[in-house]
Amino acid sequence: MQKAAQDTTQSTAKQTAVKLPWTSQDTTWMLSLFGTAVGAGILFLPINAGMGGFWPLVVMALIIGPMTYLAHRGLSRFVCSSKIEGSDITQVVEEHFGKGAGKAITVLYFFAIYPIVLIYGVSITNVVDSFLVHQLGMESIPRWLLSGALILGMMSVMVAGEKLMLKVTQFLVYPLVAILAFMALYMIPNWKMDALMEMPSAGDFIGTIWLTIPVLIFAFNHSPAISQFAVSLKREHGQNASRKADVILRNTSLMLVGFVMLFVFSCVLSLSPAQLAEAKAQNLPILSYLANTYDSGFIVYFAPLIAFIAIVSSFFGHYMGATEGMRGIIIKQAESSGKQVTEKGINKFILGFMFFTIWGVAIINPSVLGMIEALGGPIIAAILYLMPMYAVYKVPALQQYRGRVSNIFVIIAGLLSMTAIVFGLLS
């Protein structure tokens, strides 16, 4: 028996020692995760983060990288900890915490992601409508017709399958990264350096960072794609999936912080707090506001294009997570009531529910930043930051990750986000 245990230990050590070279598939996943994060959150981040001043934004840039990487690493390790092949996050929760907790977390997981999908329905309609009216000089297309056509187009790619979605995302992300970087550099001559001279009081400084953390978490969030990402890596790498995921997630986080924060700083230094407040009031992404404000032909036409690509690429990852959560809710409810459901029937229901609810909210056109702050933030913080850390101290399969300083950092970040949201709602 002792020899068997030694053999198992040696086998595990050999698997751990296996070299995992970077592959083209890793690049595809990195770009897909990047595309999932670079959506409405990024496009609205300069507005919320910038209104508090330049120096709080510097601190935010320093903390968001570790926050993003460590939180998503924790979630991927949680999904990879399953002993059941092909288990997604909803099944892993049930495996580790039981059926009751499985149902509760599945519902929370769905409601963490579903509001973001609704946000993209609103944002894509506003971006295209603004472009048609301000840049092309056309009359507005009836909102119900424009939103319906755009949502149908984005959902069609998802219905076609995961392979097509990854290819389309990869095709979109390359120009997105290039134009985003060029746009940030292009605006440098318009930087107003007097912003560097303004230092808020200590209370305002800390308060700005604290209240902006939920928007930062939302802006860099790619958790909706993490479950399928981890499942795919487990299928390809087995027990080495967590190690491979760590590397891909590290590179994704570096890419996000590098490109996105450069763009955010450039936007904040190019616009005054009054202009940022005006963009918030108009319910427009920062790029659409820049296109309507600047005379430059480059910004006028490329800014809306970046906004469009960013929203579409991010929609794919969030739609994938939302449908995964809804499928888990339906299956668990059916099992509890003893009913039989077919995969075809579930897919049809999800398709219809998603289209009509996204379409309806896009027509209503609620405040995007209000939806981010009230709906997305608290549940994302709970699922992404707190649940995996709770699992580390409760699940035997994750005990090797206990007692690390990074765990405390992630827990504090999650709690700060949730308290900031509660404070914001109460005030």
Q: Which of 194, 199, 175, 408 is nearest to 310 (CA)?
A: 175
CA dist 51 and 204 (Å) reads 12
Per-residue pLDDT band at 377 (split at 50, 70, 90): low
Mean pLDDT of 26-36: 88
Report the Cα 262 to chain-centroid distance in Å: 18
**pLDDT digit string (tens) for 384-395?**
999 999 999 999
- Ranges of each domain in the chain: 24-426
Mean pLDDT of 93-103: 87
Per-residue pLDDT band at 255 (split at 50, 70, 90): very high
Residue 373 pLDDT exceeds 60: no
Give the model's pLDDT for residue 376: 61
Mean pLDDT of 103-107: 86
Average model confidence (pLDDT) across the chain = 84
Q: Collect all residues with Cβ–Cβ distance below 8 Å to 340 and sequence separation of at least 6.
A: 334
338 phi/psi in degrees, rounded to 5 = 75, 20
Residue 284 pLDDT exceeds 60: yes
State which amino acid sits at residue 414.
G
Give the model's pLDDT for residue 172: 80
Give the model's pLDDT for residue 13: 44
Q: Which of 377, 375, 107, 368 is nearest to 220 (CA)?
A: 377
Mean pLDDT of 240-258: 93
Give the model's pLDDT for residue 398: 92
Residue 292 pLDDT exceeds 50: yes
**Looking at per-residue confidence, does 87 or 169 come out higher?**
87
**DSSP three-state, residue 176:** helix
Copy the structure tokens of residue 108: 């929370």
**CATH class of the domain whose range is 24-426:** mainly alpha
8 A C-beta contact, residue 268 and residue 261: no
8 A C-beta contact, residue 102 and residue 110: no
Mean pLDDT of 3-18: 46
Per-residue pLDDT band at 369 (split at 50, 70, 90): low
8 A C-beta contact, residue 394 and residue 184: no
**Looking at per-residue confidence, does 228 or 424 come out higher?**
228
Return the ∠ at Cα 350 (arms to 345 and 351), rounded to 5°.
100
Kindly report the number of other CB atoms within 10 A of residue 349's CB atom.
Answer: 14
End-to-end CA distance of the chain: 63
Residue 247 pLDDT exceeds 90: yes
Residue 400 pLDDT exceeds 80: yes
Residue 1 pLDDT exceeds 70: no
Per-residue pLDDT band at 413 (split at 50, 70, 90): very high
- pTM, 2 dp: 0.82
Residue 211 pLDDT exceeds 90: no
Give the model's pLDDT for residue 6: 45
Residue 367 pLDDT exceeds 80: no
Give the model's pLDDT for residue 79: 92
Give the model's pLDDT for residue 10: 45
Give the model's pLDDT for residue 2: 43
8 A C-beta contact, residue 84 and residue 95: yes
Give the model's pLDDT for residue 4: 41
